[in-house]
Each structure stands twice: as structure tokens, then as C-alpha cells.
């Protein structure tokens, strides 16, 4: 799974990336700090099956504490988008193309309204973050439309299926293309798709399905942010809008790394506990401000909640634990529950096998529910928390 972080310059994208991945991407208050995409790994919380099964799990990736498993998610932060990016303005299509493989996007908006259209600092409350989200969606729509236009030219005189094959790079399948085309009353004769207005309509439909967007209403620790969050939620009713304080989360992580505080960003109810009695007065003041204006007011920095909203609510993924030894819930080395695989709801054992290795899927014989020890039908729909053994000739 890959989550892309987008937004206009200086909205806090790189701070959010660092907060999610505990990384060190360049952060500054001027536009286009990020030019090359930053890539990293974030961790989403799931309930591990270890407590229920009475085993001590040994994750190959991530960790597990008291039955809370941290599962890795790939994240990419691309350069800030500006109006006209699809035409080459700003950093142009250079970074739009970095979003090809993304399953979902996080649009970082300055809820405090403290950055203008170009990403320059302005007084809080003087800019409308709604416009910024609309601009980002519009630029992605135009980018997808340009992809459609280029590939229509390549597929001239060829079939609908040939054209669909050319769109696999932006995660558009034949079935999805047909579904969107039918929904918009388009024929399967792509030669009739001539006007830009029609292609833009199709691009918008494809973007909504292949690149669903969650809005990170960032900078909630600044003045005017509360009104900004409310307006974003109102204007994008029915969409996921998550209040976030990326800079505050990053500051807390840095303080924890230095041993100044005890803080668990993945906790249900995060709390800050100062460990150094003679902590510098300025640092103590900064921590108190974060505690009052973010932790107590908003219930946390929102960074972990944002990630889980994308994975489990927007994308609707479940977690499945594949094992080789169904009696001991382990791999062939005896490691209990070594892997946790995130899959879309509705997945079958075949999709689980594909997520592990293509050869395993090609030679799949059957699957076993490790809890019941029963063989599963090929069309069995995997459930959240299932522990599954894949039996293959490979």
C-alpha cells in the first residue's frame, strides 16, 4: 500500500511526512522545500491476534505491544502543487507522476489560513483553505485527463481493452474504466471520446476511485484554525477531514528521542509526561502550549488518527495474519504471527496469496482457517483478524 501526501507549498506536508515516518525530510517556511519526493514508512495500529490465541508474536516488520500491532505503510511526500501544475507551472508533472502508484492521497490544507496561494506566510485567517483543496483536486483531474489524452492517441484504431491496458500505470483496470464510462454514458468506442470536457469528467470519476483523498486540516495549534476546520468539514461534507498538528507531533517526537518526555503518539489517549525536572524554561513552555492547545483541546495531534482514517475508513482495508504452521500459528522457523497483511475488504485467499508472492498465487491449492483448522472455499471472503494458511504447490 502507498499513501501520497499532496498539497500546495508550505502547508506542512514535509512536517506531516516526518511525523508519520519519524523521518528527517527537509522542512522550511518557504515554498518548494521538497523537490524530489520523500519516501518512507509509517505504521498503522491493528489488534493483533496474539492475545486471543495465547501466543507471543514475533513480527518481521513493525512491532506489537500489549496486543497492539504496528503494521508498515509506504508513504511518499511530493513537491507542493500550485495552480497550473499540470501545465508545468511550479515543479509541474515531475511530481504528479510520483503519485501513479498511490492507493490514496492525503491533501494537507492549512486550516489556520496562514499561507497564501503561492505558499507564502500570511496572517492567520486571511486565506481560505477550501480553495486550496479544490485546486489540488482540479490539478490531479487535469493530470489524469492529460494521461487519458496521450494514451487515446496511442490507442487510435485499437480496442477499448487495448486502451485500458495503457492506463494500468495509474492503477486503472479495464473493469474500472468500463464502470466509469458506463456511469457517464460513454460508449466503448474510444474514438468518440473527443472533447476535453468529457475527458475531464472521466478523469474526475477515475480519480475519485483510484486516488481517494483524505483532507488533513493541518496547523490546528494556530489562531483561526478551529473556524478553518469547521469550514473544511462543512464544504466537504461526507468526506474525511481530520484535524492535525504535524509540527506539534514532530516536536513531541523529537523531545521523546532526547529523553525529555514520555509520549506515545499511537496511544488512544496520548499524554505528555516530562521526565527532566530541570527542563529549560522555554522548552517547558512549548510543551505546555502543545499540551493545552493540541492534546487537551483536540484529543491529540491527529497524525495517527489520520493514517488510520485513510487505511481503514477511506480504503476499507482489513488485516490478515498468514502462517505456515496452522497448529502453532507460526512460520517454518517457529515465529508466531510473523506477518500482518493489509487487504481490501472482500479479498479472498487468492488475493492474500498474491500479496505474499505471485508464485504462491499461481500455484494455490487451498487455504486453511488456522483457528478452526477447516479448509476454506476459494471464494471465501477474508475477515478482519483472520489467521490463514495458504497451501500451494510452490
Query: Residue for cell digits 505474499?
Result: 356
Tell me: pLDDT of 201 over 60: yes
| Structure confidence by residue, pLDDT tens digits, 120-168 | 888 889 999 999 999 999 999 998 999 999 999 888 888 899 999 999 8
Domain-embedded: residue 324? yes
Domain-embedded: residue 299? no
Residue closest to 9 by CA, chosen among 135, 184, 104: 135
Model's pTM, two decimal places?
Answer: 0.89
| Structure confidence by residue, pLDDT tens digits, 234-270 | 999 999 999 999 999 999 999 999 999 999 887 778 8
| Structure confidence by residue, pLDDT tens digits, 272-323 | 999 998 888 999 999 999 999 999 999 999 999 999 999 999 999 999 999 9
Q: What was the pLDDT predicted at 25?
A: 45
Q: What was the pLDDT predicted at 98?
A: 77
Q: What was the pLDDT predicted at 171?
A: 87
- Our CA angle for 339, 171, 85, nearest 5°, is 120
343 Ramachandran zone, left/alpha/beta (phi>0; psi -120 to 50): beta
Torsion sign across C-alpha atoms 141, 144, 149, 152? negative
Query: Residue for cell digits 473544511?
Result: 232
Residue closest to 3 by CA, chosen among 41, 49, 29: 41
DSSP string, 345-359: TT--HHHHHHHH-HH
Q: Distance between CA atoms of 144 and 150, rounded to whole angstroms?
A: 10
Residues 6+ apart with CB under 8 A from 12: 108, 110, 218, 219, 246, 247
Tell me: pLDDT of 64 over 80: yes
In terms of residue numbers, what domain contains 341?
316-392
Q: Give the HSE-up count for residue 93: Cα atoms under 13 Å, Cβ half-sphere.
A: 12
Domain-embedded: residue 359? yes
Lowest mean pLDDT, pick from 31-40, 57-66, 82-91, 238-247:
31-40
Q: In which band, very low, low, confident or very high, does the pLDDT at 366 lie, cut at 50, 70 and 90?
A: very high
Helices 129-154 and 196-210 meet at what angle, rounded to 10? Answer: 110
Domain-embedded: residue 238? no
DSSP string, 202-214: HHHHHHHHHS-EE
Residue closest to 32 by CA, chosen among 94, 74, 75: 94
Domain-embedded: residue 380? yes
Domain-embedded: residue 18? no
| Structure confidence by residue, pLDDT tens digits, 82-103 | 787 677 665 545 666 778 889 9
DSSP string, 287-308: HHHHIIIIIIHHSS-SHHHHHH
How does the average pLDDT of the chain come out, rounded?
90
Domain-embedded: residue 277? no
Q: Distance between CA atoms of 76 and 98, rounded to whole angstroms?
A: 8
Tell me: pLDDT of 26 over 60: no
Domain-embedded: residue 330? yes
Q: What was the pLDDT predicted at 120?
A: 87
Q: Distance between CA atoms of 220 and 251, rounded to whole angstroms?
A: 14
Residue closest to 318 by CA, chosen among 382, 249, 266: 382
Q: Distance between CA atoms of 19 and 77, rounded to whole angstroms?
A: 12
Q: Distance between CA atoms of 327 and 301, rounded to whole angstroms?
A: 41
Number of structural domains the chain divides into: 1
Please report, for the domain that includes residue 332, its CATH number.
3.10.20.30
Q: In which band, very low, low, confident or very high, does the pLDDT at 386 lie, cut at 50, 70 and 90?
A: very high
C-alpha cell at position 275: 521526565
Q: Distance between CA atoms of 136 and 119, rounded to whole angstroms?
A: 13
Strands 38-47 and 213-218: unpaired
Helix (H, G, I), strand (E, B) or coil at 331: coil
What percentage of the chain has pLDDT greater than the value 90?
Answer: 71
C-alpha cell at position 7: 498539497
- Our CA angle for 214, 286, 299, nearest 5°, is 40
| Structure confidence by residue, pLDDT tens digits, 109-119 | 999 999 988 88
Amino acid at each position: 500500500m502507498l499513501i501520497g501526501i499532496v498539497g500546495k507549498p508550505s502547508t506542512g506536508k514535509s512536517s506531516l511526512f516526518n511525523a508519520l515516518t519519524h523521518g528527517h525530510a527537509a522542512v522550511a517556511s518557504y515554498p518548494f522545500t521538497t523537490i524530489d519526493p520523500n519516501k518512507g514508512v509509517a505504521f498503522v495500529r491493528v489488534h493483533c491476534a496474539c492475545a486471543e490465541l495465547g501466543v507471543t508474536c514475533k513480527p518481521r516488520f513493525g512491532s506489537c505491544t500489549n496486543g497492539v500491532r504496528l503494521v508498515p505503510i509506504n508513504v511518499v511526500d511530493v513537491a507542493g502543487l500550485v495552480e497550473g501544475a499540470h501545465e508545468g507551472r511550479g515543479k509541474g508533472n515531475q511530481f504528479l507522476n510520483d503519485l501513479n502508484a498511490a492507493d490514496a492521497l492525503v491533501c494537507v490544507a492549512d486550516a489556520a489560513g496562514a499561507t497564501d496561494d503561492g505558499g507564502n506566510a500570511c496572517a492567520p485567517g486571511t486565506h481560505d483553505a477550501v480553495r486550496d483543496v479544490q485546486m489540488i483536486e482540479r490539478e490531479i483531474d487535469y493530470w489524469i485527463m492529460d494521461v487519458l489524452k496521450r494514451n487515446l492517441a496511442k490507442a487510435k484504431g485499437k480496442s477499448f481493452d487495448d486502451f485500458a491496458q495503457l492506463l494500468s500505470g495509474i492503477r486503472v483496470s479495464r473493469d474500472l474504466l468500463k464502470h466509469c464510462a458506463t456511469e457517464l454514458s460513454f460508449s466503448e468506442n474510444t474514438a468518440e471520446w473527443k472533447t476535453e470536457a468529457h475527458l475531464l469528467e472521466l478523469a474526475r470519476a477515475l480519480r475519485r476511485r483510484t486516488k481517494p483523498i483524505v483532507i488533513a486540516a493541518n496547523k490546528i495549534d494556530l489562531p483561526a484554525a478551529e473556524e478553518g476546520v469547521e469550514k473544511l468539514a462543512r464544504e466537504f461534507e461526507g468526506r474525511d477531514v481530520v484535524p492535525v498538528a504535524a509540527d506539534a507531533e514532530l516536536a513531541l517526537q523529537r523531545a521523546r528521542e532526547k529523553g525529555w518526555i514520555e509520549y506515545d503518539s499511537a496511544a488512544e489517549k496520548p499524554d505528555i509526561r516530562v521526565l527532566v525536572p530541570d527542563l529549560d524554561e522555554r522548552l517547558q513552555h512549548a510543551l505546555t502550549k502543545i499540551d493545552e492547545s493540541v492534546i487537551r483541546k483536540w484529543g491529540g495531534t491527529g497524525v495517527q488518527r489520520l493514517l488510520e482514517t485513510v487505511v481503514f475508513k477511506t480504503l476499507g482495508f482489513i488485516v490478515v495474519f498468514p502462517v505456515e504452521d496452522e497448529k502453532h500459528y507460526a512460520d517454518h522457523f517457529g515465529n508466531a504471527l510473523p506477518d500482518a497483511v493489509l487487504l481490501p475488504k472482500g479479498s479472498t485467499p487468492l488475493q492474500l496469496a498474491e500479496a505474499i508472492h505471485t508464485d504462491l498465487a499461481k500455484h494455490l491449492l487451498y487455504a486453511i482457517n488456522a483457528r478452526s483448522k477447516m479448509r476454506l472455499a476459494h471464494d471465501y471472503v477474508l475477515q478482519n483478524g483472520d489467521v490463514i494458511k495458504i497451501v500451494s504447490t510452490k
